[in-house]
Structure 1
Amino acid sequence: MAIGFPVLPDQWDYLVHFTGRARSKSSSVPAEIRRKTARERFDGILEEGAIHAFRPYGGGPPVVSFTEAVQSSLEHLIEADQFEPWGLVFAKSTVYAEGGGPVWYVRDDLHQQVPSALRGWAVRTTDPSVSGRGTSRWTHEREWRVPGTGDPLQFGFALAGLHAVIVPQSEFSSVEAGLDRDVQSLNTRLEQLGRRQLRHTEAPRVWMWNSSRKRLWDFRRFGDGGNGLAGR
């Protein structure tokens, strides 16, 4: 990753949008979406090629949220049941190019000073020594957001722009088969348009969640085995 400065062990190039979490859904999310399982939302996003945007906790315009947590932190978030092991992985550059960026973790006493037009980027952060009702501590999520665009408001993406998906190991076969069909369908359309087709190596990777080992594994598709995410 050539970015011109040292990359620390807790940094990498990727952002993950999980499709299910333990925390209750925002009231801005329609009931029909709140009722869906993480798998159903995952399938719907892949089918549409878009993630719908909704108002975040704390207010502000509709956004799509991601985490820049690295592998060890993703594993902790899943193991702690904060997120379900269903997600979509994008390069940071892909999200940044669409207007996305990291949120601002702002002290309680400064949060109200953030202009309303920028409030969607600010996450209220409580004094670590304070506990109880009304506290707000979300720095562990290392959140990025991208404002929704279009009608309906959403973050749209091409299959070639999707780096990987996160799935439970038990669901790997069905998800891989679906991705293969999507790639074949896309390549058929590209061939008809006289455009370069997607190579196998450019297809989305599959990061499997092994619940017994509490690990994410990058299944290297097309016969070259599996490994951790280090090679990505």
Structure 2
Amino acid sequence: MVRELGLVGLAQSEYLYHFTGRRRSWPHWVPKEIQLMTPMKRLDAILRERQFRAFAPFGAAKEGQGPNGTARVCFSECPPEHFDHLILMRGFMPWAIVTTREHVNRLGGGAVAYVPPQVHEEFVRAGLGHWAVRTEPNSTWLHEREWRVPRPKGRAGLASVTAILIGYADWRPTKVPTGQWVDGLSGEELPGPEAPGAVQLEDYPALWKESPVWVWDSERREVVKYRPGELS
């Protein structure tokens, strides 16, 4: 049964964004190879592998205990009027997987609680630190409007997405093998790799071809939306 979440207000959005880059440090438990990737490379990997990598969030455990909070995939709820604020003022990079509140709810996810330190400590003691964000007078984090999907095994598969957000219109993901083989000279279709001169065809990942693509226009400070396959 599909959950009916009701209408969103002007300060809310049905869209949630998993941004693949932000100008800030990473938790030390995130693998170095992921930390060193550009936002474009991280998005490329998600499209190619059709899955998210999940990690424990900041503050989900007591200091010194390590990343023992439940791994999760994070999303930011973002109305159109708030989008340029995240990118221009808060360091988010315009590279993301876009989904919806309803989809995240169906996956067992939801919005996090923004609570004062003493309440956050209760979440941590209960083993629910991954559902709360600690707020203080000079550090509220409310601009992130964060939603999380717990994934204890550290992976979350992607059957489909609402849209793919990219930073400029001429970017394309890395092509992947299709399983189809042709003669490298004539282009004639071949039954498999054992045939002489066989070359495997490559194409853009299925998610890229099947999904709408939204391009961030930095001058107009808004997204330009393209239909599935229009940028393939």
Please report the TM-score for the alignment, with normalisation by the length of structure 1. 0.74
SS class of match (1:169): coil
SS class of match (1:110): helix
Q: Distance in 1 between matches of 2:15 and 2:9?
A: 14
Please report the TM-score for the alignment, with normalisation by the length of structure 2. 0.74
* Cα separation, partners in 2 of 1:113 and 1:17, compared to 1, 3 Å: same
Aligned partner letter, 1:124? R
* Cα separation, partners in 2 of 1:112 and 1:90, compared to 1, 3 Å: same
1:143 equivalent in structure 2? 146
1:181 equivalent in structure 2? 204
Give, in angstroms, the shift of residue 81 of structure 1.
5.3
* Cα separation, partners in 2 of 1:86 and 1:222, compared to 1, 3 Å: closer
* Cα separation, partners in 2 of 1:177 and 1:35, compared to 1, 3 Å: closer
- Of Structure 1 and Structure 2, which has the larger fraction of its residues in strand? 2
1:117 corresponds to which of 120, 123, 127: 127
Give, in angstroms, the shift of residue 221 of structure 1.
4.6
- Greater Rg over alpha carbons, structure: 2
2:76 equivalent in structure 1? 67
Q: Distance in 1 between matches of 2:129 and 2:212?
A: 35
Q: Distance in 1 between matches of 2:220 and 2:174?
A: 21
1:205 corresponds to which of 212, 215, 227: 212
* Cα separation, partners in 2 of 1:146 and 1:212, compared to 1, 3 Å: same
The alignment covers a number of residue pairs equal to: 193
* Cα separation, partners in 2 of 1:204 and 1:149, compared to 1, 3 Å: farther
Report the RMSD for the aligned CA atoms in angstroms.
2.6
Q: Deviations over 1:55-78 (max 9, x none)?
A: 101022111110011122122211
2:100 corresponds to which of 91, 113, 121: 91
SS class of match (2:143): helix
Structure 2 residue runs of 5 or longer lacking an equivalent are: 61-68, 177-202
2:40 equivalent in structure 1? 39
* Cα separation, partners in 2 of 1:79 and 1:204, compared to 1, 3 Å: same
Question: Is the contact between residue 56 and residue 62 of structure 1 (CA under 8 Å) also seen in structure 2?
Answer: yes
Give, in angstroms, the shift of residue 82 of structure 1.
1.2
Give, in angstroms, the shift of residue 10 of structure 1.
2.2
Question: Is the contact between residue 166 and residue 209 of structure 1 (CA under 8 Å) also seen in structure 2?
Answer: yes
Aligned partner letter, 1:89? V
Q: Distance in 2 between matches of 1:177 and 1:81?
A: 32
Give, in angstroms, the shift of residue 120 of structure 1.
1.0
Identity of aligned residues (%): 37
Question: Is the contact between residue 212 and residue 229 of structure 2 (CA under 8 Å) also seen in structure 1?
Answer: no
Question: Is the contact between residue 173 and residue 204 of structure 2 (CA under 8 Å) also seen in structure 1?
Answer: no
SS class of match (1:32): helix
More divergent stretch after superposition (136-145 vs 78-87): 78-87
2:64 equivalent in structure 1? none
Give, in angstroms, the shift of residue 171 of structure 1.
3.2
